[in-house]
Structure formats: C-alpha cells, structure tokens
Homo-oligomer: A and B are copies of this chain.
C-alpha cells in the first residue's frame, strides 16, 4: 500500500489501447464531445509491418469521420486478383483474373496502406474534433480494474462506477522490442516512428511520459473500452477467455521491394504451386510488396508450437522462390518480416455489466491473410463508440449497450468461420484432377474467393433485431447465440409478414445493413453528393424521408401530413431535442424527392420542418435532395437503386453508424416514434 493516496479523477470514457480500434473509439467520442481519455503502454516507437488492408466498409466509415480521402490518396489500390496454379506440366500459370472488389458494391474499393499512416490520420482527426482535449497518453499501463456498480450509491459506484488504477511506465518499459528485419541491406529500426508525431510534438509526449514514470493514479470512468490487443490486459482483468485453437499451418510474411520477372507482382495474387506450398502477393505503396508464404516444412511439435528458431528471412524467402519458380524473385530491401501460426479465437463475452467493453483483437484473433484484422477491429469500435458516447451524454437509453455484443460477436464468429475455410483452401495442395479428393479444387478455391470478396468488403454485415433494429425474431436467434444476449437485448415486436411488407418499401435498404450510397443532388444548389456523404459521424440519428413525387397533389398531402406530425410539439423529434437547441441536434431529417429538380422549389414545395429556419442564418439549404441527373457526374438513379417507389416514397430511420434501423410508410408515424422511443431519452412534454 502506498502511504500517499494516488491522484484520483473522473472521466466519462477511458479507452485502453491506441491501435486502430482504440483510436476509432476515441474518434467517435471526440466527434460527440464526450470527455474521454485514451492510454497506451507503448511509447511512440511503433513497428513497421502490421495490418494494412482497408476494405470498402472501412473506407465508408473513415469518410463519415472525414478522412477517407487521405487514405485513398496515399494507398495502393488493389484492382484485380490473379490466380496462379500449376498446369498439367506442374508449372504455375495464371488461370484466372477477378476484380478485387465486387463491381458496384460501394463507392470505394479495397486499398492497402501501412497502419502507421492510418494511426496518424486518426490522431489528426481526434485532435481536430476534440480541439486538442483528447490525446493519447503514452507509456501508461492499467494495473487494476473494478466495477463498483451495484456496490453502493454516491461515493462508490454512482455515476462513475468503473475504477481503474494506472501506472506510468519508464521509457524502457514502454518501448516494444523491435523485430529485427532480415533484409540484405539492414532495415532501419523504428522506420515509422515519425509517422505518429511530428518532431516537437513527439518530444512533448515523451517528456510527459517521463514525468509520469512510476506514478500511479486512479481514474473513475462511466465506461471503459479495452482495445488492448490479442494479449488484452483488460480481458484478463475481467477474467474473460478466448475460445478456439491454433492450426498447424505456419506462414511467413515479408514486406520487400522485389526484383523479379514475375508478371503479376503488382496484382494481388493467390499462387498454389504443385508441391512447394502457397503464396499470396499483396502489392503495397512505395514499391513495397507483401508476401504471405506458406512454410510447409515447418510443423508444430506435440505441444502445438512451431520451432521459431528455424524461421529466418532467408528460409522464408527461399520458400517463396521455390513457389514462384520458374520465375525469378530477389530483393535488396526488406521492410519487415515475421511468421505466425494460424489461430482462430473469439471472446466468450464482449462486455462486463455493460460498463467495460472489449473490441478488436482483444476479443477475436484470426489469420492476417484475409486482410480483415484492422477492419473488423475498427468496425467493432465504430459500432460501440457512438452507443457509449450517446448513453454517457444522456441522449440514448442504456439499453442500447447490450446490442454491442449481439451485433459484433456474430460478426467475429462469421469472420472466424470465413478465415477457417479460406485458410484451409489456401493452404491445401492443389488437386491434380477431379479424382484427387485430398487436393483442393481450384474451382472451389475460386468460388470461395468470390464469396469471400463479399464478406471481405465488410458490406455483408447484417445486424439482428434489437431496440436499434426493427426486425422479427429475438436477438439470440439472429445475434451471437449467447444466452446472456437473449436476456438483455430489448427488441421491437414485429411479425415476419409485417416486416416483409415494410422491407418491400425499400428493397435496396435491408434493415440491419448499412445505408448504401447513390448520388443525389442538393435541391438548392444542384451539387451532386453521394448520399452517404450526408450521413456524417456526428452522433445524430436520421430520418430519411423519401418524399416521392412531391409535385403530385396527393403525394404532397401525404408529405404534409407526415411533416405536421413531425413538427408537433409532442413529436419524438421535439421531445428528443434539448430545449433551446436546433431541431436537428439529435435527429436530423433528410429528404430525397423524385420530381424534376428544375420544376421544384425548396421553399415553395417543402414544409418548413424539412429545411428549418433560423432567425440568425436563414433557411437550411442542406437537407433536401433530389434524385435527378447531374451536369458532370451522371445520374445516381437513387430511387431505383434503393428500391423505393418514385411516386409514394417511404420513411427510413438510420442509426448514427449508418445502419438502417426501421422502414415504414409515411403513414407509419407512430411506429417511427416507437422506434425512437425505444432508443432515445425523450423529454416529457
């Protein structure tokens, strides 16, 4: 026991770990202006290498935060996958080409960029939105965690029931051991050090980190988010386990600048050699190429662990050379290398008392080849961040928090399943002919790859029923299958038949999936926008009113009626909005109509509530859009693509993370109100 009590303070949210998941959570909370701290035991010296694939959905998410463009600009874009297999002569040849991203799936395609750059973008974004209030505290380790909720009111528990003890680390403790690269010219140590912080900034962080060394403090938080990786301290502190096991397949990874005559070195390639194993080529930025190399000759011992002493860069690379023969490959520069055993594990529980949450590698591990790691981790935190933030702010009911596990544990399980199948097919020897039952059929592999592409885009995620997603069934059936979730997740009552009727109103917007994006024009200025660009990560729910053919009197009447209810002082919209705040503070109403733009007038044809007036700055010109042709960027054909009737339209409720929560007719106002009553804290009036 220390003789002097450590410094003690309160914060709404404490995030443990500043990798992509932790930074995503911090970004959300910064956008929501929720008091937040984020700590990381590492100082600024981070590895090269690491995860680097960014799938479509991740880019959509980064765009909602405001920096997808930075990643898009710097990254290598992966366009085509080439499959190489042995011919009848046993020599590899290109057997197929498929697009890397399914055409038409998203406005983004899969790209590859070093994780260090991603973290830099996050840090810039967090700084901008928090006004500098949220900053990663480096060299800080959690050493104790206790949830006091239910243990008493006021002093213990109360508003900040999670008590975390932190300790400042010395510089040596906070510096991870660098992987020594096996490059032929020595790769420098800490190449990406400068990515995270500018010179002066870094010195300041190090200075503060040193000042903290050895000191303990206590933080009382409303919520804690553990994003501290596969060996998560938070998970162990909660006593939670990961379920699953390692396989006996060992892979090597190398980031090199190749000197080669292999024709497809700048394509993503899946190469099965006749008998030397498999290889995956991932072209990267700055001439780099990542090779995933199956190490057939390394097999784990009885304990299940491979002997890593044999695994050297020369050994890994000579395997790659055998697989690629008769093509030649060599390198002078190696940026990073490692080796791993494929293991697939998922956490039994994603939260403790809905006060401490786990996200990212802390609750699921899998092989890196599918390029999913950074993506699923960020998406965990993207699902969680706004929920925690809006509950902490008193905007949402705490009941929404249980949907984190029901939604994300299902995704983690799907990921593991995908990874198992994909890894088996990828690691297997190619079948010699149709009679070769032990070999992997290259047709089956291609099929799996195509299906996997859909999964790997991140766009197949379909959340089950909860208070946030109005669907038939209960959370356990469509969710993660755990009894815990079944008990906790509140759902809306809707029959399958009724649901089918609602879903038919917008067949291109499946309830539970992300709001797809097509181009529409701003009614007031004719500027084309991908509609998703209007669904920014600002913590607001949205009502998207497909107003239909607004110039037809019958439809205009329906719209007017809907808007009159929306604008009534007792509506959920007014009851959700804090007194004195703009009417779009909590729920924003966006309109897409289907009449001709040039025949329609914003102020004349649309009720005021669709473009609210402010006495200081006038009408809001950024809320009403039209499904019409643009001068320079083609025609989004949004009604058709969303599967919405051009005449009658419909109403869609959208969550702050862009997922569709509810669909109904313009007459279904009470149901819409019921949806928001289920998740928002509404004032009594």
Interface residues of A (CB under 8 A from B): 69, 73, 76-77, 79-80, 97, 99, 101, 103, 109, 200, 257-261, 263, 265-267, 283, 287, 332-333, 522, 524-528, 598, 601-604, 615-618, 621, 630-632
Contact = CB atoms under 8 A, between A and B. Distances in A.
Given A598-B97, A618-B259, A267 B525 contact: yes
A526 B267 contact: yes
Given A333-B617, A617-B257, A283 B525 contact: yes
Contacts of A79: 525-528, 630-632
B525 A266 contact: yes
A76 B616 CA distance: 21
Contacts of A617: 257, 259, 287, 332-333
Contacts of A616: 257, 259, 332-333
Which of A259, A524, A526 has the most C-beta atoms of chain B within 10 angstroms of its own C-beta?
Answer: A526
A316 to B, nearest CB: 19
Given A332-B616, A333-B616, A631-B80, A524 B266 contact: yes
A621 to B, nearest CB: 5
B260 A618 contact: yes
A602 B332 contact: no
A387 B257 CA distance: 35
A134 B604 CA distance: 54
A390 B101 CA distance: 43
Given A103-B631, A332-B617, A617-B257, A601 B526 contact: no
A159 B604 CA distance: 70
11 contacts: A76-B525, A77-B525, A79-B527, A79-B632, A99-B631, A261-B603, A263-B602, A265-B524, A332-B616, A332-B617, A333-B617
A101 B528 CA distance: 14
Nearest to A268: B525
A540 to B, nearest CB: 19
A9 to B, nearest CB: 27
Given A109-B632, A263-B602, A527 B77 contact: yes
A293 to B, nearest CB: 19
B103 A632 contact: yes
A77 B602 CA distance: 19
A269 to B, nearest CB: 11
B257 A618 contact: yes
A204 to B, nearest CB: 11
A526 B80 contact: yes
A267 B523 CA distance: 10
A527 B261 CA distance: 20
Nearest to A283: B525
Nearest to A73: B69
A293 B528 CA distance: 29
A617 B288 CA distance: 9
A618 B524 contact: no
A263 B73 contact: no
A142 to B, nearest CB: 32
A265 B103 CA distance: 38
A229 B514 CA distance: 52
Nearest to A185: B616
Nearest to A94: B598
A260 B618 CA distance: 7
Contacts of A527: 77, 79
Given A77-B527, A99-B632, A267-B525, 15 more contacts: A79-B630, A79-B631, A103-B631, A103-B632, A200-B200, A257-B617, A257-B618, A263-B601, A263-B604, A265-B524, A266-B524, A267-B524, A283-B525, A287-B617, A332-B617
Contacts of A618: 257-260, 287
B621 A266 contact: yes
Contacts of A522: 266
A332 B604 CA distance: 24
Nearest to A529: B77
A171 B616 CA distance: 37
**5 nearest A-B pairs in the assembled complex, by CB-CB distance:** A259-B618, A266-B525, A79-B526, A266-B524, A99-B631
A616 B630 CA distance: 48
Contacts of A333: 616-617
